[in-house]
Structure 1
């Protein structure tokens, strides 16, 4: 019974391991007991049934056969009302065939489960189908159809597993493909699949009792393959990832294979003392876990190191141990050949000849057996083919007479039907194609009209916004003329009327009033259109603007990081107005002691940055202000982007990107 359950376990966890040894790291029973508690406390029969099916497999993993059967029985009792669970149960119950030794029944139930689950499009159905296909593939591999197994993995199991979003499962399937390639010495191709397996297992976050073990095993197998490819740097990185976890679990049987990979890593680089230490640790771990497969794997590379070190005594001991504990004739043949080399090095030529002869005898025997089996197989195939030909010939002769009468009549009827059908299909396709072209053409016209309407609407919106901004600007200038310059000129007029009277101003005082009026007029003129912008450049105009607005309370620093700029005047005016509005806002509301204005340009993009150390403001509450609207409209006019960052008592930063066309730059 124990052997049967080991066989069942091999299939149950075939996606997680390349051997029949169940890997362990931490205590899986804690996780399994938590699932059992959830199953016990739930009131939903569907959830209880699904979890009971899963628990039957989990208890099988920790070799508790009684619990496994108990939960399988409970799951089957509750499944009857739920179609999905009834179909899924075909897979979960399939292992009963293996328990009875009915391999054909197991295969048929796997195929039936896959066919039934195809109609479901949920992640659990995809997960189960991937596992079913993996197990069916293993059955093909056991029949020496390894190529068929690999096609099944690559073309069906892996794409379906990806739909399940179970990254641990996907990783295990990629790893299974890689192991097939490694067995066939396709190390480079195997490396590609192992990289995929490692990527998926590192992305896996779904809790599972086998997740950590799967991750460690993936690292170890990947490292082993990288060593064989002589990618030692990459192999060391992967080994370190595995060791960072394994060093906390010195009793884990994963150490059996880890120290094998670490040992060959050192051996391939001729670091023989380090290699022997690793092999020794691995051998002790494998002996403790009674893992004969791992022990034999470790003993052979250890032998190779001893042979290279000319320690022929220990090399001989390893080979004799392997001969004693290896059941496979093919492996024994290789060990005889290696023993022949050892005795030849020891100059014991009689024994060297003896083992060389044993190697030749087994090699010839294997070749002869293989040849005979091939002959027998070919003969059987030939006889079977001949018998099938005879049966087919007799059947065809009997049927030929009966069919000949009907063929002529059927041919004429079929030809007429097919001709009519073909004509109808061609007619239908022609009409469909014609209508499709008309529909496509009309859709294209509608699309273009929609784009044109949207573009016109956008232009109109920007134009309206600019007009609104200009109207606000006109009102401000009118206010400045009326309240500022108008008041000054009215006062001057009054004083001129009083000229010659006793309280009249002197000529000097009248001159001061005239100077103030002229200065106010220049300020208004400067705001309307700065003279430096018209006669000199944008840089000089902005520098004058910053200097004019600097005062004792607020210092304005100006940076112009452009060597040469060839913007047209209308672009420069918009840029000037944007910065002027930003400075007005900062001086009026920010209460800042320092303001930085920076301009730069990269190809077709003009950058503006204005920063202050003022009191800041809530950006979301200030989006509707007229000043900010004017800025946004002008930025929109130049197809630009506006970003404002403000923190209370830490200041405000405004970042603007404006698009400038190449032809304008080159003009």
Structure 2
């Protein structure tokens, strides 16, 4: 189950060379050069090296795209080796990156894939702790999606697994309790949250063993008391947490949250001076990170300050929010490009290797044939030097023709493209330009109103021609390959569920649907509806085949699911919890759902979802 000795050497080298807080890019380059010079024995060592580098980037640097790149390289090799445990760890790393970059649906899908791999293995301590980590990641994902019941379920699973493990797991258990309490706090179940925080804080040694975590839990506890209107211990608990946080070496990040909570508390009490004091401290610290905490600090100051100062902070908040959203989209697009470009490079390398092999074979054959021909001619016709030269020339021409034939298909494709562009420009653009020019020449000397109007028409025509030229130019420069998107996530869901449920499926989607225009809320509900429908088909329909299609009609997405199951009486089954959930989700996104079913024939579910 564990990585081999080579992986351990790489991890030790990371820690020894750089230290836990180092972000020195020159040293990272030196490490990659060292790893490249190591003579690897097999594919497993190569994959484990990629995994080790990815883990380092994820845990100690902000270079998430580099971490994703090496995880992806490791993932491909582990899949080929059918190394389920190592593949599950790699997918967990990818899922954590997706969660951190707010690709919550992608993180959920990747986490479930990793869990399915671990489920097929024996339940050793290593497997159980990794499952607990994945459950914890899913709990955080669903908390961010505000699906608190699901979040609580996964955090409780993580906690139960950790409690089963041998040895001292107190620190890990406390982390799960804190995460579970945070979810209860967000769900406004304050009594349950307070109970878990108290359980953690009852450990009197925690403040000495891990003062940073103690300050974090104490602040969470104090904030829960604030939200539940129990202010008798405030602000003393906040101030104690802040004092502890400021006393440790790496105090910055936790201090931001505590200062924000103090500012919120004093603002609520009407003490604007102290509210401003702590809010500006939080802002000053969070500026070092330029992330969501700076966003919260700016929003808090816009509420505390008044007039132009408040407006200035609100403007900065809006600007930073837009910047962070653009950066998140950019990171997700970069992840998609890394997957595509890595696969493309591998295909190109395979093709190049094949071409080189064929070129070598042909070259050897030609050389041998030429040499044999030379010997035969020399032995038979020593006195016929001229004839020998002519035959040698013929052989050279044959070689030249063989070389030309290698490029024939490429040149043919180029010629066809040139012809298409020539026809596009000659028949369309140049003809219209010539006609417009002649018409303008005929009006050149006229200054009548009619002539001026006509000239304006021709000028507009020239603008249209300009757009056509720009369109042709755009077509020449546009890459025909697009990145992965929401439909890829749906394909993964359907493929995974169909495999588990032993269903034959056909998925058809309308390429003209611009999923970027569809809100994340609508996408999530569409995803859940399909997931629930497939579950109902498996559980109740007894079907063997399902057809799923997306169509765009009058700016409305039509989602249709058709199965060949046993069918049911629609009027008698409307009270089922599965259908209730689907109806609830459809109403949430202002959609329409229609179900028709015939016994022994099958069921058709049709949903209409507005694109905006």
Both proteins in one fold, TM over 0.5:
no
The structure with the largest alpha-carbon Rg is 1
- The TM-score bracket by the shorter chain reads 0.3 to 0.5
